[in-house]
Amino acid sequence: MGPSMNMTTTSMPVAGLVPGPRQEQPQADLLVRNAKVFTGDPDRPEARAVAIRDGRVAALGDDHDLAHLVGPGTRVVDALGRRVIPGLNDSHLHVIRGGLNYVLELRWDGVRSLRQALAMLREQAGRTPKGQWIRVVGGWTAEQFAERRMPTVAELNAAAPDTPVFVLHLYQSALMNRAAVRAAGFTRDTPDPRGGQIVRGRDGEPNGVLLAAPGALILYSTLAKAPALDEADKRTSTRHFLRELNRFGLTSAVDAAGGFQNFPDNYATVVDLARSGELSLRIAYHLFPQTAGQELADLKRWTEMVKPEDGDEWLRLNGAGENLTWAAADFENFSEPRPELAAGYEAEFERAVRLLMENGWGFRLHATYDETIRRDLAVFEKLAAEGLFPGGNRWLFDHAETVSADSLDRIAALGGAVSVQNRMSFQGTAFRDRYGAEAAAHTPPVRAMLDRGLTVGAGTDATRVSSYNPWVALHWLVTGRTVGGTPLYPAENLISRETALGLYTRGGARLTGEQDVKGVLREGCYGDLAILSDDYLTVPEAVIPDIESVFTVVGGRIVYASAEYEGLDEALPPVDPAWSPVAHFGGYQGGARQASLVAEAVAESEQHRQWRVARGSAPEAPLPFYDPCFEH
């Protein structure tokens, strides 16, 4: 659906205007006009134009109200009647880890059929150099495919007989072709790791299936065996990943750290980009102890190195987590029974929380099940009785899919918050099949959280499970449906589009203590906004996941531009390495831009065929379509 063309002018979408008489008020750097602005500010919910100066919102109003801010240096952008919103803020995104690997990954996010997914894999195998792997790492589920099934190992072997292929499916499993099994060093003698299973055939040899049973460590540790990028390419990869996030209107994210993200080593790339002014996304990051048995030592060392809010508006420390101690972490594989956490984990967990409170550190805490949340809350309440918790520090639970009403009351009493992600839009069917439709109907109970006045932020938990596309998450919040269209929630657990957008803007800002400068379009707040391809507030619900930004601004900088604004954004270096799946297919497979990239990829393949014909290495007439990937 195209933008509204109810325009007040027929001007070009980007222009300069002849300045009027000299005004006392300084000119704007950027003026977005002829827009339907949703400000997110209850005191002034709507506007037609936004002026930005020195990275901040300078004024809002009608076009004529702001005309006096236009000077010789003002870039004037005509929104052509489109919807403008505050920049989105994913409150739980593994953005740092995702950026370090982005250009190495073949993304099936948004792919509508397994046939297309396997064709992409087969084509990528033809350009991947020896020694490298093809990695499909999260962002998809079998439900999104027309075929409603996962690929088989036989299909991976047919698509890429010689190139290692690793396909991660949610928190549940991974598929590997024969070449990947060899590259990972798995043999009949390789023991199953704790909490995981290497599935074997009747001959005892690994058959290419890895199961999280119930923990995902086997999946992630196997993926870690694939070659990594060098430092220069990590930098380029991160910049392209941030641009991909900007494509969907994201201007901020809270990095949730995670496994295999060591501090300070794996943070060096974003620190370097921040120092050089090349971040296009504001990042508030967390620190996550990586080694079981060493958590307290790591936390103590970090409290002596840095403190929350160190940094600036582009890159800042927000606290510890999402794990504080490994023993306190549950698993979110809904295909497996809920894990029983070890008895007595609370003693070490309490020492970790006490250390953070004494040093003025807040934290976020991974907790999927109410059974875990109740045990953690008992520790917090013990410290609160001593007057130590929360001590003015921000803290929150992440995920909280099965949190109970009683636990929500206890969280509210302790001044906590919650960050929810749309993991149920990818795993909701598995949850319903295990626990029943009645339990799934309030998993997580977002409406109950809001009714208690809790601060709630929304996000995706991308990139290894859910997609990083925020509009898929917003669709889930509004409709209660999985990516395959399965309804999960009754009307009483759904929220309005405006409320959902607030969780993705103001909610995330509250979780980082930036609610006074971020999440709304108001004078003095950050100049972060997006012009949308479709009007989120009025389009049919089915269109919401296909929304993109056509013009994204962070701090007054144009960080993404498409459609009529193509070429106005900041230049990026080309994707490197040149064989990268991202260089050929792009990222999320949706929208007109992605369709164009796929068409270009097809045209490039045809040009290559014609080149081979001219040299006598291929028949002149193309062979009838046949793909051995699909015969199994």
pLDDT per residue as tens digits for the range 140-168:
999 999 999 999 999 999 999 999 999 99
Pairing relationship of beta strands 206-212 and 395-399 according to DSSP bridges: unpaired
Q: What is the C-alpha separation between 283 and 274, in angstroms, rounded?
A: 10
Flag whether pLDDT at 12 surpasses 60.
Answer: no
Q: Which tokens belong to 297?
A: 């030592």
Alpha helices in 345-496 (DSSP H): 346-358, 370-385, 405-413, 423-435, 437-440, 446-451, 470-479
Residue given tokens 């990222």 in the structure block:
587
Residue given tokens 């940094």 in the structure block:
311
Contact (Cβ atoms closer than 8 angstroms) between residue 534 and residue 541: no
- Residue 609: predicted pLDDT: 46
Q: What is the C-alpha separation between 238 and 573, in angstroms, rounded?
A: 11
Q: What is the C-alpha separation between 102 and 595, in angstroms, rounded?
A: 20
Helix (H, G, I), strand (E, B) or coil at 14: strand
Contact (Cβ atoms closer than 8 angstroms) between residue 156 and residue 133: no
| pLDDT, average across residues 406-422 | 98
Where does the pLDDT of residue 333 fall: very low under 50, low under 70, confident under 90, or very high at 90 and above?
confident
Contact (Cβ atoms closer than 8 angstroms) between residue 87 and residue 250: yes
Alpha carbon separation from 539 to 29, 497, 532, 535 (Å, rounded): 32, 11, 12, 6
Q: What is the C-alpha separation between 288 and 294, in angstroms, rounded?
A: 11
Q: In 3D, which of 199, 164, 170, 169 has the Cα closest to residue 183?
A: 164
Flag whether pLDDT at 20 surpasses 80.
Answer: no
Q: In 3D, which of 372, 452, 387, 468 has the Cα closest to residue 417?
A: 452
Name the E strands within 184-259. Answer: 196-200, 206-212, 250-255
Contact (Cβ atoms closer than 8 angstroms) between residue 273 and residue 239: yes
Q: Which tokens belong to 622?
A: 């193309």
Mean pLDDT of the chain: 91
Q: What is the C-alpha separation between 503 and 102, in angstroms, rounded?
A: 26
- Residue 432: predicted pLDDT: 96
Provide the residue type at 481 as one letter.
R
Q: In 3D, which of 545, 526, 535 has the Cα closest to residue 473?
A: 545
Where does the pLDDT of residue 615 fall: very low under 50, low under 70, confident under 90, or very high at 90 and above?
low
Q: What is the C-alpha separation between 604 and 610, in angstroms, rounded?
A: 10
Angle between helix 423-435 and helix 470-479 axes, rounded to 10 deg: 40
| pLDDT, average across residues 536-556 | 98
Alpha carbon separation from 403 to 188, 219, 565, 595, 613 (Å, rounded): 42, 27, 45, 40, 62
Across 229-233, 282-286, 604-608, least confident range:
604-608
Across 250-259, 328-337, 556-565, least confident range:
328-337
Q: Which tokens belong to 537?
A: 């507030």
CA angle 441, 443, 448 (to 5 degrees): 90
Lay out the sheet containing 134-137: strands in order across: 134-137, 165-169, 173-176, 206-212, 196-200
Calculate Rg over the CA atoms of the chain.
25
Contact (Cβ atoms closer than 8 angstroms) between residue 511 and residue 254: yes
Flag whether pLDDT at 626 surpasses 50.
Answer: no
Helix (H, G, I), strand (E, B) or coil at 571: coil
- Beta partners for 286? 319
Q: What is the C-alpha separation between 607 and 420, in angstroms, rounded?
A: 46
CA 314 to chain centre: 17
Q: Give pTM, 2 decimals.
A: 0.90
- As a residue count, the chain comes to 632
Q: What is the C-alpha separation between 583 and 81, in angstroms, rounded?
A: 33
> Number of H helices and number of E strands within the chain?
20, 24
- Residue 336: predicted pLDDT: 87
- Residue 598: predicted pLDDT: 46
Q: Which tokens belong to 20?
A: 């009027």
Q: In 3D, which of 259, 265, 318 has the Cα closest to residue 289?
A: 259
Cis peptide, bond prior to residue 86, ω within 30 of zero? no
